[in-house]
Structure 1
């Protein structure tokens, strides 16, 4: 694994290795005893993904090189490729990139001597989000085989839906999609299920927000919750040990009743916490693969309380 671009590239063994490494980082404190620089190149807005990469880097003792597209040479016409090359030239040891293009990484492929991590590609890929979602599910059930998972919401415009569905099927889960009319994605070959069936049959109900910024026309959401979202009445019909997930940001009162965001079944904020450990695992795995660091410079300091 030279770069972390897509869940498609990962074997089941590589996925489990990353999950185990993330759990080790969750339980214990480690730092890289060598100067390493990570560049976080976010061309789209981000809260959770960007800041969890920053926290992951700081926990590892890595220097974060920040970047703000609105205050950069991008406004002067600089391309993604030239921006990334600039950070490589000044000493970044790895690049974390989010961009609105579905295929931004194709322009960079084979042209860099440092690892690249995909932090979001248009509506196509969000592989680090997938890994933290996998970790959350694995912590809950201890397996993926036979677990029924419904991904519900704006499937058509969600990079999370595609990445998660593919990875979960690879690991043996039963994946179903649920969407309002017009929110389906025909290129994803998974069965669709109405939300009222999903809440009763599935072990995981994963909600997605409406991606207003990717729609060509304005979407009216006045009755979306009642027709397609997770209401308190629907939550009451979920299995006793079922869980609620959401990659966030959350549109409270649209895809989920606000009272359910932190209810007993919700793992939404646990997902966010897991994002730090998963990204620590991805960063260190890539740095070791490239020979930028080795096992000897990753020092265990203490056991978490």
Structure 2
């Protein structure tokens, strides 16, 4: 594996290997064991054109655990604001010796363009997709799947078969759903999309997942409920007005979870808008919420990705 731009480009064997390595690295982190410095002396640039806490920091921490020299590119103070193109920025980082560029962008096609730019330099730099508009977030999908494997005591070859995952929220604009739904289906889960009609994806997208605008129907018997944020920054107009109305109709609340399977697990990729898409009490419940487990698994998953690319 030379790059990680989309999960569809990986074989089942490669996906399983990444998930199992993520689980193994998490176990080492939980035991406070040293991670082998597979990237000792390698140079990693994090280039984030969008604000990020979890993804940016976890890639930085992951690289440092592996011994890499990690530089977070200060986009707000870079030549990008003097009119430099993304292509020129990518090629500059490659020429400076980048072994890895972890890229996040709100623009469709940005990852593919970065991959072309890096390949054209001939320096062998690997590109990692850390989120692209509403079009994909492969490491989030991997960490979410690994979180569920960890929570259910499974390894990757056992997959997620027998689990029903209800994803509730702004699915139309979600890169988390764009990568997560195909991976969950690939691992054998049943996936339901639950949202108001205007926040459901076009019917040609995310085939294999069922769709409903009825929260109770979508959550009925679900083993896992994932809440997604309403992403107004990606909307041309406000498609769902009134946070109180949204919370009442589509929020993941205790009342809503009554329709789910007993003990159903709750997830959220963050950042959360508490008491809009998810009730605070649900998000913080230590027995049901996997939200902090997702964050912890994120470090382990990004270790696994970076190590696999350049270890």
Question: Structure 1 length normalisation: TM-score?
Answer: 0.91
Name the SS of the counterpart of 1:156 in structure 2: coil
Shift of 1:25: 1.4
Question: CA 1:105–1:111 in structure 2 vs 1: closer, same or farther (change >3 Å)?
Answer: farther
Asked if 1:118 is matched to 2:129, the reply is: yes
1:210 to 224, 227, 230: 230
Name the SS of the counterpart of 1:223 in structure 2: helix
Aligned to 2:305: 282
2:150 to 139, 150, 153: 139
Shift of 1:19: 1.2
- Report if aligned partners of 1:39, 1:92 keep a CA contact under 8 Å in 2: yes
Stretch of structure 1 that moved more, 127-136 or 86-95: 86-95
Aligned to 1:158: 174
Name the SS of the counterpart of 1:250 in structure 2: coil
Name the SS of the counterpart of 1:155 in structure 2: coil
Question: CA 1:261–1:72 in structure 2 vs 1: closer, same or farther (change >3 Å)?
Answer: same
Question: Structure 2 length normalisation: TM-score?
Answer: 0.89
Asked if 1:80 is matched to 2:103, the reply is: no
Q: How does 1:190-269 map to 2 (within 5 A)?
A: 190-193=209-212, 194-218=214-238, 219-220=240-241, 221-263=243-285, 264-269=287-292
Give the Cα separation in 2 of the matches to 1:129 and 1:44. Answer: 16
1:203-235 deviations in Å (ceiling 9; x for gaps): 111110000101112342221111111122122
Q: How does 1:148-187 map to 2 (within 5 A)?
A: 148-186=164-202, 187=205
Give the Cα separation in 1 of the matches to 2:78 and 2:136. Answer: 25
Q: What 5-or-longer segments of structure 1 have no aligned partner?
A: 289-305
Shift of 1:280: 0.3
Give the Cα separation in 2 of the matches to 1:185 and 1:176. Answer: 12
What RMSD over aligned residues (CA atoms) do the two structures have, in Å?
1.4
- Report if aligned partners of 1:12, 1:171 keep a CA contact under 8 Å in 2: no
Name the SS of the counterpart of 2:36 in structure 1: strand
Aligned to 1:295: none
- The structure, 1 or 2, with the larger RCO (C-alpha pairs under 8 Å, 6+ apart) is 1
Aligned to 1:291: none
1:71-128 deviations in Å (ceiling 9; x for gaps): 1000011111111111111111111000111211222334352111000011100001
